Amino acid sequence: MKTDGWQDRFFAYLDVARVTPFKWGVQDCCLFAADVVDTVSGTTLRAQLAACYADEPTALAYIASFGSLEAAVSSWLGASQAPNSAGPGDIVIATLDNGPIVGVCLGVKCGFASIIDGPILYTQRDVITACWPV
């Protein structure tokens, strides 16, 4: 799914995301992941997802309608893969102190749009519980 030149677009997007504050329905973990997918593959996932919720209560209700964050992400990107198959630009889920969060694999680290340690929280990749190749 990644298109030619995706790496340059990916790192340019990360530069913007690093200074974009967390806000439900604007720059949250799901929309961050959708932006990455759109950036590296030319899709319009963000627009589709942004139409489904606007704030924290509607985001949580949207995710709950799937049963879990992993199930919600799988509805957008297909079946999840083993965590060790994640590569740069792939979407990942981790369970951190506040619960599950979706983000992106950067290689040896992962990045997540975070309300607590934001705008982007960086972790080692050993926290990944599932991934979706993009």
Each residue's pLDDT tens digit, 8-61: 999 999 999 999 999 999 999 999 999 999 999 999 999 999 999 999 999 999
Average pLDDT estimate for 73-88: 94
Q: What is the pLDDT of residue 117?
A: 66
Q: Tell me what percent of the chain is helix, strand and coil, each rounded to the nearest 5.
A: 40, 25, 35
pLDDT reported for residue 79 = 95
CB-based contacts of 19: which residues, under 8 Å, 6+ apart?
Answer: 119
CATH topology for 6-132 is endopeptidase fold (from Nostoc punctiforme) (3.90.1720)
Domain spans in the chain, listed from the N-terminal domain onward: 6-132
How does pLDDT run across 101-111, given as a tens digit for each residue? Answer: 999 999 999 99
C-alpha torsion angle, residues 34, 98, 115, 9 (rounded to 10): -30
- Cα separation, 20 vs 108, in Å, equals 23
CA atoms 35, 77, 114, 67: torsion sign: positive
pLDDT digits (tens, 9 = 90+) for 82-129: 999 999 999 999 998 888 999 999 999 999 998 876 788 899 999 999
SS3 127: helix
Distance between CA atoms of 91 and 80, rounded to whole angstroms? 9
Over residues 65-69, mean pLDDT:
96
More confident call, 116 vs 67: 67
CA distance 105 to 68: 20
Query: Is this prediction's pTM over 0.75?
Result: yes
